[in-house]
Amino acid sequence: MIRDITIGQYYQTKSVIHRLDPRVKLLGTLLFIIALFTYNNPVGYIIGIIFLCTVIKLSHVPFKFITKGLKGIILILCFTVLINLFLTPGTPIIAFWKITITYEGLAVAFSMILRLTMLIMGSSIVTLTTTPNNLTDGLEKGMGFMKIFRVPVGDVAMMMSIALRFIPILLEETDRIMKAQLARGADFESGNIVKKAKALVPVLVPLFVSAFRRAGDLAMAMEARCYRGGDGRTKMKPLVYKKRDAIAYIILFTFVIVSIWLGRWSVITDFFRSIYMNLFGCPL
Amino acid sequence: MPLILDHVCQIYNADTETPVKALDDVNLVIPEGQFIGVIGHTGSGKSTLIQHMNGLILPTSGSVYFNGRDITDKDFDKKELRKHVGLVFQYPEHQLFETDVFEDVCFGPKNMGMSKKETELAAFEALRKVSFPEDLYYASVFELSGGQKRRAAIAGVLAMKPDFLILDEPTAGLDPVGRCEILDMVSELHRSAGITIILVSHSMEDVAMYVERVIVMDKGRVAYDDVPREVFSHSEELEQMGLAIPEPAKITRELLKRGFDVDPGVLTSSEAADSIYKALTKNR
């Protein structure tokens, strides 16, 4: 069950998306997420879905693999949907007892589902197609301008890459410890929440101990190799923009501008309509 | 109550582009009372194999029978199986979590539903069987040496009073004295308590000294399954699998090639010494 978590995992295969510069992918995700939260009509979502599906298709990562990452947020998803569904004021569709479902609530809930699933899928595409090393390289270089504000970008990048590198190790460790405790008759599945939480103690304690042990060993190994901070370290394979990255940027910006423009079109028209109303005192 | 593996296959990452066939059509019968060694190179499927024996991993195809019942059945009680088939993982000391040694050893029997008195009795008995120093019963696990921690962890499994005890590389990371002590202890358990022992190791020497049956794993298949003498007579094949035959056997084999009249089937250094001595005195 621990292997179901796909966030932060890398899927080994060859594709255009895999070969793209990590900076393109990182900026792309950021813009994609911003765009997602600006839409307020179906046209925007449709364009967004088409874009996402095209990227997934191009990445050669099986669709099943990407949706696996959604399992983790299903609870949050249900929660947001319910809150939005019942607590949004507006024109009621169904009303009985104290519960009213409004037309607006339905619309908000639906768009929330779309936004969250697309957000998760969009960001898992980046981690699935980029090796952790490449990802931090991209972050380090992309965030290079932050050095002006005395942000230790190199150190932060090193921390990130270590953290990312440790995700699979710790997952594997968790899996092993869970199995070892299962072999001693531990039960992680039955019982209520309190019992389940208590059952995790035999896993969490050894996990923390081993995480600290590993961190200590790593620090020692880094010092033994004269690590003196991330600033000014050179790369064996420095990131260089290629032609395909330029093309990707063009496609990306076109998508973002067009989708935001179309996705918010009604707002824009409504805005002009209201100005017209105020100026001339009659509808357009 | 024999343990039977019938055409067991296990494929990891079946849904990705890089599926790994960890076990390939494994057929084994493990009767009670044997002392078995499982050897194989890293990645040969040893660890996967033993996890099938107590239901931590279920086979992709094929079945495992314990006590005449298929363990993959929905209504099969895996806890009951794990009580009878104890599994000690590699580096078992990493899974200790309680405040003191005694409490940790109690974890297994407590999970098995024994009463407080039974649990404590079982824990005492287990700690005595692994000859754990009595003055350290209530010491914190962090105060122990490597060998002591390992004893405590083995006692944790032994306290459940299993009929089968599977040990995955119980001597890994210990000094030669500690290795001998642990192996002697395991051998003593087999002799005095009549527990079926399955000892997983990549070291031929360890295995040759103690076991009565050797299972050699190679690329997920059972390559040999026989008494040690027979298995070690295939020295060339074993070396191709990345396994070295025990040093004493190697020396006598080499001497035989050079015209000395020694027994090529020796397993331990004392047997080799005797055989070489005889050969030398005969020549005189």
Compute the count of residue pairs across chains A and B with CB atoms less than 8 Å apart: 61
pLDDT tier, A283 (very low <50, low <70, confident <90, very high otherwise)? low
pLDDT at residue A163 is higher than 60: yes
Burial of A15 (0-12, 13-18, 19+ CB in 10 A): middle
pLDDT at residue B242 is higher than 70: yes
pLDDT tier, A199 (very low <50, low <70, confident <90, very high otherwise)? confident
Chain segment B3-23, per-residue pLDDT in tens: 899 999 998 877 666 788 889
Cross-chain CB nearest to B111 (options A11, A179, A186)? A186
Among A43-52, A62-71, A123-132, B213-222, whose mean pLDDT is lowest?
A62-71
pLDDT at residue B227 is higher than 60: yes
Whether residues B95 and A209 touch (CB distance < 8 A) is answered with no
Among A230-234, B128-132, B263-267, whose mean pLDDT is lowest?
A230-234
Residues of B in contact with A64 (CB under 8 A): 15
Contact B173, B146 (CB under 8 A): yes
Q: How far is CA B230 from CA A218, B40, B103, B211, in A?
A: 45, 16, 44, 13
DSSP-assigned states of every residue in chain A: -GGG--TT-------HHHHS-HHHHHHHHHHHHHHHTT--SHHHHHHHHHHHHHHHHHHT--HHHHHHGGGGGHHHHHHHHHHHHHH--SSEEEEETTEEEEHHHHHHHHHHHHHHHHHHHHHHHHHHHS-HHHHHHHHHHHTGGGGGGT--HHHHHHHHHHHHHHHHHHHHHHHHHHHHHHHTT--SSSS-HHHHHHHTHHHHHHHHHHHHHHHHHHHHHHHHTT---STT---SS-----HHHHHHHHHHHHHHHHHHHHHTHHHHHHHHHHHHHHHHSS--
Chain segment A69-109, per-residue pLDDT in tens: 787 788 888 888 888 888 777 777 777 777 777 777 888 88
Secondary structure letter of residue B94 according to DSSP: G
pLDDT at residue A172 is higher than 70: yes
Comparison of pLDDT for A133 and B135, the residue scoring more: B135
Residues of B in contact with A187 (CB under 8 A): 79, 111
pLDDT at residue B184 is higher than 80: yes
pLDDT at residue A42 is higher than 60: yes
| Distance in Å, alpha carbon of B235 to nearest chain A alpha carbon | 34
Would you state the pLDDT for residue B240? Answer: 87
The residue among A211, A167, A210 whose CA lies nearest residue B94 is: A210
Comparison of pLDDT for A7 and A76, the residue scoring more: A76
pLDDT at residue B45 is higher than 50: yes
- Mean of per-residue pLDDT scores for chain A: 83
Would you state the pLDDT for residue B50? Answer: 92
Would you state the pLDDT for residue A1? Answer: 43
B14 shares contact with chain A (CB less than 8 Å): no
| Distance in Å, alpha carbon of B60 to nearest chain A alpha carbon | 16
Q: Which residues share a beta bridge with B38? A: B200, B215
- What's the mean pLDDT in B54-70? 89
Phi, psi of B66 (to 5 degrees): -125, 130
Comparison of pLDDT for A36 and A90, the residue scoring more: A36
**Considering only residues 174 to 213 of chain A, which have any Cβ-Cβ distance to chain B shorter than 8 Å?**
176-177, 179-187, 201-202, 205-206, 209-210
E-state strands within B169-268: 196-201, 213-218, 221-226
| Distance in Å, alpha carbon of A180 to nearest chain B alpha carbon | 6
Contact A122, A33 (CB under 8 A): yes
Comparison of pLDDT for B15 and B212, the residue scoring more: B212
pLDDT tier, B28 (very low <50, low <70, confident <90, very high otherwise)? very high
Confidence check on the interface: ipTM exceeds 0.95, yes or no: no
A13 shares contact with chain B (CB less than 8 Å): yes
Q: Which domains does chain B have, with CATH numbers?
A: 3-234 (3.40.50.300), 246-284 (no CATH)
pLDDT tier, A6 (very low <50, low <70, confident <90, very high otherwise)? low
- Mean of per-residue pLDDT scores for chain B: 88
Half-sphere exposure of B71 (CA within 13 A, CB side): 30
B56 shares contact with chain A (CB less than 8 Å): yes
pLDDT tier, A3 (very low <50, low <70, confident <90, very high otherwise)? low
- What's the mean pLDDT in B88-116? 90
Indicate the residue type of B9.
C
Residue of chain B minimizing CA distance to A11: B16
pLDDT tier, B29 (very low <50, low <70, confident <90, very high otherwise)? very high
A1 shares contact with chain B (CB less than 8 Å): no
pLDDT tier, B234 (very low <50, low <70, confident <90, very high otherwise)? confident
- What's the mean pLDDT in B40-50? 88
Would you state the pLDDT for residue A215? Answer: 92
Domain positions in chain A: 1-130+241-284, 146-238
pLDDT tier, B178 (very low <50, low <70, confident <90, very high otherwise)? confident
- What's the mean pLDDT in A229-250? 84
Q: Is B92 left (phi over 0), alpha (psi -120 to 50) or beta?
A: alpha
pLDDT tier, B283 (very low <50, low <70, confident <90, very high otherwise)? low
Cross-chain CB nearest to B56 (options A65, A177, A183)? A183
Phi, psi of B36 (to 5 degrees): -115, 140
What is the Cα–Cα distance from A198 to A203, expressed in whole angstroms? Answer: 10
- What's the mean pLDDT in B229-249? 83
pLDDT at residue B156 is higher than 90: yes
pLDDT tier, A4 (very low <50, low <70, confident <90, very high otherwise)? low
Would you state the pLDDT for residue A282? Answer: 66
pLDDT at residue B75 is higher than 90: no
| Distance in Å, alpha carbon of A283 to nearest chain B alpha carbon | 59
Contact B250, B257 (CB under 8 A): no
- What's the mean pLDDT in B58-69? 89
Angle at A194 between CA A193 and CA A196, to 5 degrees: 60
